[in-house]
Chains A and B, each alone.
Chain A
Amino acid sequence: QITLKESGPTLVKPTQTLTLTCSFSGFSLTTSRMGVAWIRQPPGKALEWLALIYWDDDKRYSPSLNSRLTITKDTSKNQVVLTMINMDPVDTATYYCAHSLMYYFDGSGYDSFDSWGQGTLVTVSS
């Protein structure tokens, strides 16, 4: 059974850096086709994909947030860390991490986020 849990500050000030940790069990990020994604949802708004790190350390970032995001993994601790710099009140959201499994169709890989953490609400305010 795959489980994930997000942890980090609930309140950050504008311009500060947010560091979130995703602790997981039930899979290894050294296994082919596995990944961990970060997704967020501002209050009353839609889900937004932020970043994804794969078993082979390939990393993908949302183009609109690329300059502010860093995603890393620690396979020995079964953790993935997301860092977002220069936080702003518009970044107030529930942040989720999710297990990603890659499927191959027609020679290309497609990821599905098949297990999610419960999410953590991060408020950006002075």
Chain B
Amino acid sequence: SSELTQDPPVSVALGQTVTITCQGDNFRSSYANWYQHKPGQAPILVIYPKNNRPSGIPARFSGSNSGNTASLTITGAQAEDEADYYCNSRDSSGTHYVFGTGTKVTVL
């Protein structure tokens, strides 16, 4: 079972802001990655450790963290942001990797 727990499915109105979270015991939340995954497509990295955004990822995607919780915020959600989002980081042993349970974001 996953050591990283994410929010249930969420919906956001077009142009509004949505924040989803990822938490776990012994989770080094500032070192989380976030991936966007659309059906039938390859996942895309949208945030990497220390809340950095890869080149080509829109600035409306941002990461933050507090304690054992990492967060992904989409500010001004667009229709193309509708997807499943997964967090990922090292597991509690620090030796292996683990993905979160995933959150489906629907843009209304």
State how many residues of chain A have any CB contact under 8 Å with chain B.
Answer: 25
Q: Which of B63-102 contact A (CB under 8 A)?
A: 86, 88-90, 93-102
> Among the listed B30, B41, B48, which residue makes an inter-chain contact with A112, where contact means beta carbons less than 8 Å apart?
B48
1/0 contact trace for B8-33 toward A, CB 8 Å? Answer: 00000000000000000000001101
Chain A residues lying within 8 Å of B90, measured Cβ to Cβ, are 110
> Among the listed B44, B50, B88, which residue makes an inter-chain contact with A49, where contact means beta carbons less than 8 Å apart?
B88
Chain A residues lying within 8 Å of B33, measured Cβ to Cβ, are 112-113
Minimal beta-carbon separation of B59 from chain A (angstroms)? 18
Known contacts being A105-B50, A110-B90, is A118 close to B2, with CB within 8 Å? no
Q: State whether the Cβ of A91 lies closer than 8 Å to any Cβ in chain B.
A: no
Binding site for A on B (CB under 8 A): 2, 30-31, 33, 35, 37, 41-45, 48-50, 54, 86, 88-90, 93-102
Given contacts A48-B99, A63-B93, 16 further A-B contacts (CB under 8 A): A39-B99, A46-B100, A47-B35, A47-B88, A47-B99, A49-B96, A49-B98, A60-B96, A96-B42, A96-B43, A110-B49, A110-B90, A113-B33, A113-B88, A117-B42, A118-B42
Binding site for B on A (CB under 8 A): 37, 39, 46-49, 52, 60-63, 96, 98, 103, 105, 108, 110-114, 116-119
Closest A-B pairs by Cβ, 7 of them: A116-B42, A112-B48, A47-B99, A49-B97, A46-B102, A110-B31, A110-B49
